[in-house]
Amino acid sequence: MRLRNGEELVALLRGHTQVRWLVCGHVHLDQVIQRDGLTLLTTPSTCFQVSKVSQAAKILPGPPAFRVVDVHGDALSTRVLHLHAAGTDGL
């Protein structure tokens, strides 16, 4: 999935060295991309997930998930938490 003006956005952010992370939601994918000193984090959906490997958009059955982001000074830590229904043995 691509942002229409992604190249322009990265070029703009590249001019602001204090910007090191870009966190995006509503992408339905959990991805971490390093580009020109910028870390781009996409976030899974609280609804359905989309395949990372399919050429065409492919909806996957999967647990809803969300990303937790903690920023402390110059440090960022993040994790993705998947919600599992009780009684599914962790599936």
Question: pTM of the predicted model, to two decimals?
Answer: 0.68
The H or E element that residue 14 is part of is: helix 6-14
Q: Are 64 and 83 in contact (CB under 8 A)?
A: yes
pLDDT, tens digit (0-9, with 9 covering 90-100), for 7-49: 898 889 888 988 989 888 777 778 888 887 889 898 887 776 6
Token pair of 21 as six digits:
């992370």
Position 10, amino acid: V
Q: How far apart are CA 15 and CA 51, in angstroms?
A: 33
Closest CA relative to residue 65, chosen from 84, 51, 52? 84
Q: Are 22 and 39 in contact (CB under 8 A)?
A: yes
